[in-house]
Amino acid sequence: MDNGAGQRIALDQLLARLVVRRLRHLPITPNLLTLLSLIVGLGAAWRIAQGGNSIHWGAAMFIFAAWLDHWDGEFARQTGQTSEFGHYFDYAAALVNYCALFIGIGYGVRDSWIGASAAPMGIVAGLAVLMIFLIRFWVELRDGRSAIRQAVFGGFEIEDTLYIVGPITWLGWLPSFLVVATVGAPIFLTWIAYDAFIRKAGAKYRSNA
């Protein structure tokens, strides 16, 4: 699937495009949709943080919030309401939602076999995600938006892997997911930092030499 310009688009973005075609005549703005995704995302993190059966509803809310994250951009493009503020507001909302998710998971599984370590682990994973977003933001400012465009494989982008939070939660594997995220997020952060500050910066220096 591509967007008509030779660029492949993710399945969730395609679905968002189809929904927005039905909504584009409503008296709303892209920023309002961004705010909605932020509210739903924070609500999801709060529900997950409560633990117990609440985490199942929280996981469903997070999946919806992650999908909503595509609505505002599609709405802006289809209605001609794109703006720099809207782009960065959308970026900030996604950052907050993803960080809040991991912190919420940490508190939500504190009564599991992880015990008291769960909350600090969630904070570690959340902070790693925060740093990943900030580095990508810096790369965008340095090299342009195309530099951080994510490749699409099989209809999914890298960030779409977080949709797996739903099935993992409903199957009772959320504590194990937190352990993997606590190890994996800092490793991915290390790669992102290396790619941004060493590999690409070095390549740019050599090309200008």
Instruction: Enumerate domains of the chain plus CATH numbers.
Output: 11-208 (1.20.120.1760)
- Can you give the pTM of this predicted structure? 0.87
Q: Is the pLDDT reported for residue 5 higher than 50?
A: no
Report the pLDDT value the prediction gives residue 95, as an integer from 0 to 100: 95
Report the pLDDT value the prediction gives residue 155, as an integer from 0 to 100: 64
Task: For 138-182, write each residue's pLDDT tens digit.
Answer: 998 888 877 777 666 666 677 778 899 999 999 999 999 999 999
pLDDT band at 94 (very low <50, low <70, confident <90, very high): very high
- Dist CA 106 CA 121 (whole Å): 6
Report the pLDDT value the prediction gives residue 201, as an integer from 0 to 100: 60
The residue whose two tokens read 């075609």 is 21
User: How long a stretch of residues is the chain?
Assistant: 209
Report the pLDDT value the prediction gives residue 1, as an integer from 0 to 100: 43
**Which residues have a Cβ under 8 Å from the Cβ of 168 and sit 6 or more positions away?**
59, 174, 176, 177
Other Cβ atoms within 10 Å of 191 Cβ, number: 12
